[in-house]
Amino acid sequence: MTATSPRLKHEVKDLGLAALGRQRIEWAGREMPVLKQIRDRFATEKPFAGLRLVACAHITTETAHLAIALKAGGADALLIASNPLSTQDDVAASLVVDHEIPVFAQKGEDNATYNRHVQIALDHRPNIIVDDGSDVVATLVQERQHQIADLIGSTEETTTGIVRLRAMFREGVLTFPAVNVNDADTKHFFDNRYGTGQSTLDGIIRATNILLAGKNIVVVGYGWCGKGTALRARGMGANVIVTEIDPIKAIEAVMDGFRVLPMAEAAPQGDIFITVTGNKHVVRGEHFDVMKDGAIVCNSGHFDLELDLKYLAAQAKEIKEVRPFTEEYKLKNGKSVVVLGQGRLINLAAAEGHPSAVMDMSFANQALACEFLVKNKGKLQPGLHSIPVEVDQEIARLKLQAIGITIDSLTADQIEYINSWTSGT
Distance CA 317, CA 304 (A): 22
Tell me if 375 is assigned to a ligand binding site: no
Phi and psi, residue 45, nearest 5°: -90, -25
Tell me if 224 is assigned to a ligand binding site: yes
Tell me if 343 is assigned to a ligand binding site: no
Which residues are 283's β-sheet partners?
307
Tell me if 73 is assigned to a ligand binding site: no
- DSSP string computed for 11-77: B-S-GGGHHHHHHHHHHHHTT-HHHHHHHHHHHHH-TTTT-EEEEEE--SHHHHHHHHHHHHTT-EE
Tell me if 413 is assigned to a ligand binding site: no
Tell me if 301 is assigned to a ligand binding site: yes
Tell me if 406 is assigned to a ligand binding site: no
Distance CA 383, CA 24 (A): 37
Helix/strand/coil for 127 = coil
Tell me if 159 is assigned to a ligand binding site: yes
Distance CA 381, CA 17 (A): 44
Tell me if 275 is assigned to a ligand binding site: no
- The sign of the CA dihedral 419, 420, 421, 424 is negative
Tell me if 187 is assigned to a ligand binding site: yes
Tell me if 244 is assigned to a ligand binding site: yes
Tell me if 299 is assigned to a ligand binding site: no
Distance CA 84, CA 106 (A): 7
Tell me if 411 is assigned to a ligand binding site: no
Tell me if 155 is assigned to a ligand binding site: no
Tell me if 60 is assigned to a ligand binding site: yes
Tell me if 202 is assigned to a ligand binding site: no
Tell me if 223 is assigned to a ligand binding site: yes
Any idea how long the chain is? 425
Q: Binding site residues, as ranges?
A: 60, 132, 157-160, 187, 191-192, 221-226, 244, 279, 300-302, 347
Q: Binding site residues for substrate, as ranges?
A: 60, 132, 157, 187, 191
Q: Binding site residues for NAD(+), as ranges?
A: 158-160, 192, 221-226, 244, 279, 300-302, 347
